[in-house]
Amino acid sequence: MDTRILIVDDEPSIVKMLQMVLRKEGFNRIYTASSCKEALSEIAAHGADIVLLDVMLPDGTGFDLCPQIRSYGSPHILFLTAKASDLDVLTGFAMGGDDYVTKPFNPLEIAARIKARLRRGGFGMMPSAGQPIIQRAWDFGRFRVDESAGELTVLGEPVPCPAQVFQLLLYFCKHPGVVFSKSQLYEAVWGIDGIGEDNTVMVHIRRIRERIEEDPSNPQYLLTVRGLGYKLVKEKGR
C-alpha cells in the first residue's frame, strides 16, 4: 500500500513490533522517529497519512508535537499512550488527535484501525482521468458541509476542521434527524467495534458543536437525545 505511516516512539521494541505487523498487513511506506525533532524532520521529508504518536518522548510530548504535525497537513493522528486517564485522553483530542490506543496494545488492533480509517476515505486521492466529480454538500443555514471539497463553512466563512471531526459531522449530515448511539457512531465513523469508546465520541461531538453552534453549551443543531444518543436536525429548535 502507498499509505505513508510515521511511527513516533522512543521504545525500539514497540517500533520494531509495529513495523513487522504493519508490513505483514501490506503497508510498505513506514517511517520512524524517536523524538519530536526527528518526527518533524521525517514529516518534512516524506509527509504522512497516518501518524502513530507516543505521548512521552525524550524532547517533549506528543501532545505538544501534535499541532506542529498538523501544520504540515492533515494526517490521521493516533496516540499510543500509557497515560489512560480521562484527562489525558481529552487532552490528546483537544490538541488535535483523532484516536488513541493505550499501552500495552495488540499491534493487530493498530493495523485494524488504520485499515478502518482508510476504508472511510483515502488520503490525497484524486479522481481518475475522465471520472466525474460528484458534488455533495449539505446546507443547514448557519453552516454548510461540502464533502467534495472537504470543507466546513459557518456563516459563510471556512472553519478549520480535523479529519475525524469532519467525518463525524459528515455522517450526521448524511442522516439528518436520525438518532445514533455512541457505539453506533464509533463503528460507523471509526470503522471498528465502538464498545468502550464513549470518550472518543463525546469529545468529537463537543468539537463539532464548538464549530457549528452559536452556543455550544445550548446546541440547536447537534442535539443530545437523553438515554439514546445524538442527532443532527435541519432546523433550529427541532
Can you name the residues that pair with 32 across neighbouring β-strands? Answer: 7
Instruction: Report the percent of the chain where pLDDT is more than 90.
Output: 47
Which is nearest to 10 in space by CA: 48, 85, 60, 49? 60
Burial (CB count within 10 angstroms: exposed 0-12, middle 13-18, buried 19+), residue 166: buried
Instruction: Report the percent of the chain where pLDDT is more than 70.
Output: 86
pLDDT band at 124 (very low <50, low <70, confident <90, very high): very low
Q: Are the C-beta atoms of residues 42 and 33 closer than 8 Å to each other?
A: yes
Say which residue, 147 or 192, is predicted with more confidence. Answer: 147
Residue 39: pLDDT over 80:
yes
Average pLDDT, the chain: 84
pLDDT band at 237 (very low <50, low <70, confident <90, very high): very low
Which is nearest to 67 in space by CA: 35, 102, 91, 100? 91
Q: pTM to 2 decimals?
A: 0.62
Query: Mutual orientation of helices 62-70 and 86-94 as an angle, nearest 10°?
Result: 20
Q: Are the C-beta atoms of residues 140 and 200 closer than 8 Å to each other?
A: no
Q: Are strands 29-33 and 50-54 parallel, antiparallel or unpaired?
A: unpaired
Per-residue cell: 199: 470518550
Cα separation, 44 vs 56, in Å, equals: 21
Domains, the chain, ranges and CATH? 4-120 (3.40.50.2300), 137-232 (1.10.10.10)
